[in-house]
Amino acid sequence: MQHFVRIITVLTGLDILESIILWVMQTYLTNVWKLSVSHAAGIINVWNGISLFLPIPFAFFADSFLGNFYTLLFSCSVDTIGLMFLTVSTPPFNIGKCNKYDPECIGRTQKTLFYISLALMSLGGASRVSQFPFFEEQEEKQEDEAMNSNIKNKICDCSIGQQLGCLLVVVATIIGGFVLPFIKSWSIKFGLTAIFSLVALFVFLSGLVWHPYIRKGPQGSPLTTIIRVFGAAIHKKSKELPEDHNNAKNLYMSDDNVQLTRSLRCLDKAAIILPTPSEDEQKKLKWHLCSVREVEDTKACLQLAPLWITFILCGLVSSLGNTYFLEQANHMNQKLGRLKVTILIFYLFSSGAGFIFRYIYSTFKGWLPENYQKYVPIFGIAFALIASIFCCITAAIVENRRLKVIRSIPDLLKDNPPKNIKIPMTMFWLVPQYMLLGVFTGITDTCFEELFKTGYPSSMNKYMQYFKVGLTGIGTAASYLSVYIVGKVSERGATRKNWFQHTINQSRIDRYYWTLAVISSLNLFLYIFIARMLPKPILEPPEQEKVEES
């Protein structure tokens, strides 16, 4: 058990370290590659969006084909290779004589390695899908062995492993939050993360020798059920449903006696029982016949589909934290008295605000009567959307003030301003917008997950956390398109300039923030309209479930 605790904590430490160092990738692209602020933000947002969406197909493949062990092995391996490629793509590893952190020292080979590393690290994010399910499989094995050998204390005798694991997590946090930000060499920053990833991979592989893993095969994915329902309904599209089809004998009712609802009745045809097929066709029967329970579970999943637009639009605001907000901080005074503070402190502000408000949300929900608790996620999402509006408004006001300060120093408006000129405005002006962003993301993560658990069948609970994140990832990637459209609209007219110039000091990001505030307001009204139209079963369990629970 100690070995498995060390594995899970080492991998958790790697996630913390990697997320911290990659959070500042925007500044690497603008300071070293000298990309325009919108180009760098586009690369980061598309990459983040793909990384957030990939856990959904990986969860499907893990459950249907690979299993948790091989999925985790694959993701850890490609993530390590990706971090190595990222390290090698930096200028000091250039084969030629040019090894400075200048755009002239970044050739085609290094750019290729950089983009390959981003793709591999996106695939490496699949470790989140199988990491904890794999650990639970090993924990079950340990419990079975302990029960068979009558050694009850063996299950709990893992204090040494827990202490070592916690130490590794603390070390990773210290390295990521307090050591790497003060290292000027990007090669060393990326290299230390790659070394930690390699150590995590070796710790994981060591279990193959010293503590043989239990490797459960694929258990099947509930997403397959949704595909089967659609396939069976299409296969029997020419069949007619009986008038009173809830009591019809030609429907496959299974054993739970679930009744069909009146919504999405075109899917009800998937439950029609056809005449007995031939022996060869019986092998394909599961793709031509679904139970009423499976049909109703599929309907429950589709009933929340209108909310997907809300999740996607939320991604537009979520994408600001490690792109444009970070670029603002990078061009402001980073000193607190005589002490220079790393911009990673905003990562802590945002994460801390999200944690605090999640705690307040959970406490408030616990105070309410049980009959009212099911409505809390609905109102919680509305509160989070209001926070997103104020986040964009606050960011616009602060950016407008920052631009006024910059206009008083003409040298700051150049493409390459002198490094000895400092903006007389502290970066801590950005604290309110980062905290509002943390409140927005923290509450939406919690409320969307609870809403999904209420509206979706229990078999889909595993996918809900990935589903919300994946939809937000689509919005994060789509922010690149929103920037392009807003920029093109802003330059319409002979005398107008595009709001997005080469540097953030030359741009009018404040106007983009106002645009997002308007979009977030429309998203709030859209959400209220959709929430009022949600089917009753999503807000209140069906009667048969209440009877079963009682």
Q: What CATH number does the domain containing 56 carry?
A: 1.20.1250.20
94 domain-assigned:
yes
Q: What is the pLDDT of residue 151?
A: 43
Last residue of a domain, one of 299, 317, 350: 299
What whole-number distance in Å separates Cα of residue 50 and Cα of residue 127? Answer: 15
216 domain-assigned:
no
217 domain-assigned:
no
Query: In terms of domains, do 447 and 325 share one?
Result: yes
Query: In terms of domains, do 143 and 177 share one?
Result: yes
Number of domains in the chain: 3
In sequence order, what DSSP letters do the residues of 501-538 get, joined into one string?
A: -SSTTTS-HHHHHHHHHHHHHHHHHHHHHHHHTS-HHH
Query: In terms of domains, do 526 and 416 share one?
Result: yes
Query: In terms of domains, do 200 and 330 share one?
Result: no
Instruction: Tell which residue, 120, 133, 94, 99, has the closest CA to residue 22.
Output: 120
User: What confidence tens digit (pLDDT) does each residue in 72-88 have?
Assistant: 889 889 999 999 999 99
Query: In terms of domains, do 132 and 8 share one?
Result: yes
Q: How confident is the model at residue 195 (pLDDT cuts 50, 70, 90)?
A: confident
Query: In terms of domains, do 170 and 268 share one?
Result: no
204 domain-assigned:
yes
Q: What is the pLDDT of residue 541?
A: 45
215 domain-assigned:
no
Cα atoms in the Cβ-side hemisphere of radius 13 Å centred on 527: 24
Q: What is the pLDDT of residue 242?
A: 67
168 domain-assigned:
yes
Query: In terms of domains, do 379 and 271 share one?
Result: no
User: What confidence tens digit (pLDDT) does each residue in 227-281 have?
Assistant: 888 888 888 888 877 666 555 566 776 556 677 777 788 888 888 877 766 655 6
Contact 35, 29 (CB under 8 A): yes
Sorted by sequence, the CB contacts under 8 Å of residue 361 that are 6+ apart come out as: 376, 380, 443, 446, 447
Q: What is the pLDDT of residue 479?
A: 92
Q: What is the pLDDT of residue 361?
A: 87
Helix (H, G, I), strand (E, B), or coil: what is residue 103? helix
Contact 112, 103 (CB under 8 A): no
Burial of 490 (0-12, 13-18, 19+ CB in 10 A): middle
Query: In terms of domains, do 153 and 183 share one?
Result: yes
User: What confidence tens digit (pLDDT) does each residue in 404-437 have?
Assistant: 988 888 777 776 666 667 788 899 999 999 999 9
Query: In terms of domains, do 185 and 86 share one?
Result: yes
With tokens 């309110």, the residue in question is 432
Say what the pTM is. 0.85
The residue range of the domain holding 236 is: 222-299
Query: In terms of domains, do 168 and 308 share one?
Result: no
Give me the helices (H) in 375-430, please. Answer: 376-407
Query: In terms of domains, do 424 and 529 share one?
Result: yes
Q: Is the pLDDT of residue 548 over 50?
A: no
Helix (H, G, I), strand (E, B), or coil: what is residue 308? helix
Query: In terms of domains, do 186 and 262 share one?
Result: no
Q: Is the pLDDT of residue 47 over 90?
A: yes
Burial of 119 (0-12, 13-18, 19+ CB in 10 A): middle
Last residue of a domain, one of 299, 334, 357: 299
Contact 349, 326 (CB under 8 A): no
